[in-house]
Structure 1
């Protein structure tokens, strides 16, 4: 059996000054919340893709985003446009103020149904599906000043 094609992606764990994380709501696959991000374009590095995706999905100005270190990575097979791919995602920490998110300026909102800033307590208490699995633990570590020395490998 041939493995699915590789799809490189950059995702952003966007925190505000109150350590709330910005998640996007999608309806497919029973509905879920996820971090902003998407696939790399030809010749693009992961950090550049992360900033581009914040602009395309949320209308955020790159100058307003403090893009930090890569916190995590994840590999997952899933459908994109009806075709199975092996998506390899790198998750970057970013700080952004809610006022710097301007959905009216979003150029590619894809299938985003809503966006919401979540507290760590809300994230831990929700029964809704949130990707990536382990996101709350990563945010708690960052809030406690424990940024991982190497990217954490997420499994789900």
Structure 2
């Protein structure tokens, strides 16, 4: 017996850092509550970088001109439910540098059930007991801050 592979859902996510090297995470209430990077699925005709900039505008009110979009840092593949339908989501994570002052959730057009946003220092992120996705985010950011972007995107686990 074989199990069908769920349909592909491509997504773009941003690892948003400010001038103090803090990472911006968004809190969602579903599945017991968790923090995650901003982002979402690609729309028809979009590439990953266009989707990343659009998601930052929609979720956080950040004007694309205010974003310094960097290299793809990581990729993650995960099967999960979206709108009650099983999909295989493949996420590409991009480094995005912004000024904390450019984040304006009041301008967000699609806040997607975001309960709050918060800037996290890497040391605090490493020590939190709260659920943060993707797993390994603190180590990935610490590596980027110490050595720069990886030569090839890092494969992240669920």
CA distance in 2: counterparts of 1:144 and 1:2, whole angstroms: 42
CA distance in 1: counterparts of 2:94 and 2:5, whole angstroms: 27
Give how far 1:139 is off: 0.7
- Answering whether residue 91 of structure 2 is matched by residue 86 of structure 1, we say no
Give how far 1:111 is off: 1.0
> What is the alpha-carbon root mean square deviation over aligned residues?
0.7
2:106 partner SS: helix
Scaled by the length of structure 1, the TM-score of the pair is 0.98
- Where structure 1 has 5 or more consecutive residues not aligned to the other structure, the ranges are none
- From 100, 119, 141, give the equivalent of 1:117: 119
> Any runs of at least 4 consecutive aligned residues in structure 1 with deviations exceeding 6 A, and if so which?
none
- Where structure 2 has 5 or more consecutive residues not aligned to the other structure, the ranges are none
1:100-129 superposed Cα distances (whole Å, 9 cap, x missing partner): 001111000011000000001110010000
Scaled by the length of structure 2, the TM-score of the pair is 0.97
Task: Give the count of matched residue pairs.
Answer: 156
2:141 partner SS: helix
